[in-house]
Every structure is written in C-alpha cells, then in structure tokens.
Amino acid sequence: MRVLILTASVGEGHDLPARTLAAQLLAESPTVEVVVEDGLEPMGKLVKAISADAGRVVFFRFQWVWDLGFWFFAQARPTRWLSQTLLTRIGGNGLVKLINDVQPDVIASTYPNTTEVLGRLRRLGRLDIPVCSAITDLAALDYWAGPGVDVHLITHPESIDEVRRVAGPNARVSCVHGFTAPDFRVPLDAAVARARLDLPAEGKVVLVSGGGWGVGDVSGAVDEALRLEEVSQVVCLCGRNDSLRATLETRFGTTRRVRIEGFTDRMPEWMAAADVLVHSTGGLTVLEALMRGLPAISYGWGRGHVRVNNAAYRRFGLADVVPTRDELLPAIRRALDRGRTSVDGFQSLPSAASMVLAAAEGPISDR
C-alpha cells in the first residue's frame, strides 16, 4: 500500500503532523510505502505565494492584511466560494499530475487549501483515490472540511459540529491521535522533566511560545511572568524566528530567570516541566498543552483564523484567551492557582494511521 501525505511548508502546524503521521503509519504497518510531498508546489507559484510566502511578510509587518485576507478568503460566503473555485481551477491540474506520478492508494492532507482542492476534485470525478483531511485546528474549518473528503480526522471532539456544518451532516469524522509527538501520550513526571531540561526544581515555570513562526508579544509575556515572585524560570520558545531570538537575548540575556530557546523537538518535556503555557497562535501547541493537562493562555497575536480559534477555546473552556497585556498577569495567576487537569480522554482515541489505512481499504463508518 502507498500513502501520499500532502503538507505545506507554512509552519510546524502542518509539517509536524505530516512527519508524525508518516512515522505512525510505518510503525503500525511496516510494509506501507509513505510518500510526503509539499502540496503547494504543484499547485503553482500564485497559490504558493498567497498561501505560504505572503505569511513571511504579513505576519510581522502588515498583520491587518492577514485579517483582511482571512475575511475575504474564508469568512465572507460569496468571496469564499469564489476563492475555493479559483483555487481548484488554478491548482487542481498540478495536484492531479503529482497524484498520478505517485499513484497512491490513499491521500492524507495536513494543509487546508490543499484539502479543499482534493475534496472538490473528488466531487468533480477527477480523483478516484480516497482523501483524508488531517484537521489540527479547533475552528475556522471551511477549507479543512468538505463534502468531497472521505474522512475528517480531528484533534478535538468539539470540532465535530463545525465539520458537519461545512461538509454535510453525513460527513465521516473521527477524533484521533497521531498528529503530535507520541511522547505526549506517555506520562512524564514534572520533576523528571525539569531535571532533563536543567530547570529549577523549585518554583513555577512559565513557558512562553510564539509558535514555529515566533510571532506575537513574546517579550511582553516574559515581562508579565517575571512580575510573579513564585516564578523561578520563564522559558521563551522562539521557533525558527532567529530575529526574535536575537532580540530576546539582547534584552533578557543577563536575566537569570529567563531562558531563551530556538526551535525544539523536546516539547513533550517542556510541557511536562512547565506550570503554564502562554502561546500566541493556538493550534497544535495548545493541543499539546491539553494532552499534558497544562493550563494554556492564548495571548499576543489573535489574527485571522487564530481569532476564530480563540473564540472557540473560550467557548469550550479549553484555554484562557487574553486580548490585552493588562489582563495577562491575572490570567497567569489563575492558571498557576488552578494547576494541571486530567488528560485521560486522549488515551482511548484511535490512531490517525489506522483511519488512513482503513480509508484505503474501503468506506469508514462514523466513529
């Protein structure tokens, strides 16, 4: 069996699920052949420029453009329909060519724009290979879900209603694990994690993350966390943003209670060691915190789809959402007082790999 995983080099929120799904597939079925490709490349330069390249500018310099673009492409129904139709017309032929070259038995997509095109190609009869959508956001799912998708693999059960609103009441939906590192499902004592990471054994640890892009008011979050005497360490995760890391090192490099880290593959340990997460972009990082029972605060960015996800975090009580810096310190205090929560619900979920393999063999019943 051959599985084609389509990702997009837009950030770890799409590349990480592709990597972990590939590893899970090989672990569960060693004879399967897994091919991972960037789904934006064959869709053409225009699609790639809008979907991926533009983010490198608007995320940092023209954030209002991201809000405007999200409203135009995803929220306003007439322009959303037009955008989805044009996306398929412009990028569909390239995707079909890639799929014909690979000849997979099933396709899994971790990027919403690619998923949208795949679903439409299925509905148009141009693609006869099952498509699985790997949905790693909680909300804003108009491109993640669609009636042409064979099965929607979600990370939050709270997403089911929105998936079926977008894809239809009979859409196949399954809540799974497998889009985060497998170590998140293995309990890890905080003291052990702190020792491995060379963190203080006493006091509170605040984890501040700007996601893979390193966006948001990371510096302001550090300042607020340092105001609490019980906080012995503030850890800044800068992702792949070298400029942010340099700025923070200039400002906090001599502050003993601040530790600055670049991109890391040790998130299961950081999440086990910390007492609260302050994060800017939601998505997988908040999911990882939930899997560790770590209180999460969304603060410092809230643009485009993140704004919609923040509203859903608040609605479902999954994370605290703080729109202004003045509200951040009280939110950190509340999180520290509340402590960790139970994480038993993640242990019983089926694996994403098992759902993908089943999709290749025939229709999947609702789970």
> Per-residue pLDDT tens for 160-189?
999 999 999 999 999 999 999 999 999 999
Share of the chain above pLDDT 90, in %: 78
266 token code pair: 């040790």
Would you say residue 278 lies in a domain? Answer: yes
State residue 287's pLDDT score: 94
Q: How far apart are CA 211 and CA 147, in angstroms?
A: 31
Whether the per-residue pLDDT at 341 is higher than 50: the answer is: yes
Would you say residue 152 lies in a domain? Answer: yes
Query: Are both 19 and 131 inside the same structural domain?
Result: yes
Q: Best-predicted range by mean pLDDT among 10-19, 118-127, 344-353? A: 118-127
Query: Are both 44 and 128 inside the same structural domain?
Result: yes
Query: Are both 207 and 334 inside the same structural domain?
Result: yes
Residues 219-236, mean pLDDT to the nearest whole number: 97
Query: Are both 140 and 189 inside the same structural domain?
Result: no
Residues 100-113, mean pLDDT to the nearest whole number: 97
Query: Are both 318 and 355 inside the same structural domain?
Result: no
Residues 6+ apart with CB under 8 A from 262: 238, 239, 240, 242, 245
Query: Are both 331 and 355 inside the same structural domain?
Result: no
Query: Are both 172 and 85 inside the same structural domain?
Result: yes
Share of the chain above pLDDT 70, in %: 95
Write out pLDDT tens, residues 70-80: 888 888 889 99
Residue 306: give the domain boundaries.
183-345
CATH code, 6: 3.40.50
Residues 6+ apart with CB under 8 A from 345: none
CATH code, 271: 3.40.50.2000
Would you say residue 73 lies in a domain? Answer: yes
- 336: alpha, beta or left? (left if phi > 0; alpha if psi -120 to 50): alpha
Report the range of poorest mean pLDDT among 40-44, 48-52, 71-75. Answer: 48-52
Query: Are both 223 and 339 inside the same structural domain?
Result: yes
Query: pLDDT tier at 367 (50, 70, 90 boundaries)?
Result: very low
Pure H helices in the chain: 12-28, 45-48, 55-58, 63-70, 77-102, 112-123, 160-167, 190-197, 218-226, 242-252, 267-273, 283-292, 305-316, 328-338, 352-361
Q: How far apart are CA 19 and CA 9, in angstroms?
A: 12
Would you say residue 367 lies in a domain? Answer: no
Residues 87-116, mean pLDDT to the nearest whole number: 96
Q: How far apart are CA 128 and CA 122, in angstroms?
A: 6
Query: Are both 162 and 209 inside the same structural domain?
Result: no
Query: Are both 24 and 45 inside the same structural domain?
Result: yes
3-state secondary structure of 321: strand
State residue 304's pLDDT score: 83
pTM for the predicted model, two decimal places:
0.91
Would you say residue 210 lies in a domain? Answer: yes
Residues 273-286, mean pLDDT to the nearest whole number: 93
Whether the per-residue pLDDT at 225 is higher than 50: the answer is: yes
Query: Are both 155 and 187 inside the same structural domain?
Result: no
Residues 326-352, mean pLDDT to the nearest whole number: 91
Distances (CA, A) of 265 to 181, 243, 324: 9, 20, 30
State residue 365's pLDDT score: 46
Write out pLDDT tens, residues 285-302: 999 999 999 999 999 887
Nearest to 43 by CA among 107, 89, 85, 109: 89
Would you say residue 295 lies in a domain? Answer: yes
Mean pLDDT of the chain: 92
Number of domains, the chain: 2
Query: Are both 45 and 114 inside the same structural domain?
Result: yes
Q: How far apart are CA 96 and CA 101, in angstroms?
A: 9
Report the range of poorest mean pLDDT among 14-18, 142-146, 303-307. Answer: 303-307
Side-by-side strand order, sheet with 33-38: 33-38, 2-7, 106-109, 131-135, 151-154, 173-175
CA atoms within a 13 Å half-sphere pointing along the CA-CB vector of 361: 9
